[in-house]
Amino acid sequence: MIMRILGEGQYEITEGHLDHLNELDSSLQTAADTGDEAVFASALSALLDAVRSLGTQLPDDRITPSDLVLPDEATSLAQVRELLSDEGLIPG
């Protein structure tokens, strides 16, 4: 799966890491639902850090469609709420 972090680049994520990323996504969803800005910022940072550390960054000159686009760390709670579905940011 190819995930893009807005303003940063694309990462190739193997299927084996999706369960862990979905757990982090669930924490982000809970933080967004409760409206706790501090917990939200921490959960978003944890999710993006995990994508960076578990994924393989694709070269900038490689043009590949993204399966999923994640907001950057500067994205507000209100903006992320608009992006969330029943399954969070990461389906599954």
- How many other β-carbons are positioned within 10 Å of the β-carbon of residue 14? 10
13-59 pLDDT per residue, tens: 999 999 999 999 989 988 888 988 899 999 999 999 999 999 999 99
Burial 48-67 (b: 16+ CB within 10 A, else e): bebbeebbeebeeeeeeeee
pTM: 0.87
**Kind of pairing between the strands at 9-12 and 2-5:** antiparallel
- As a whole number of angstroms, the distance between CA 30 and CA 57 comes to 28
Tokens 């190819």 belong to 2
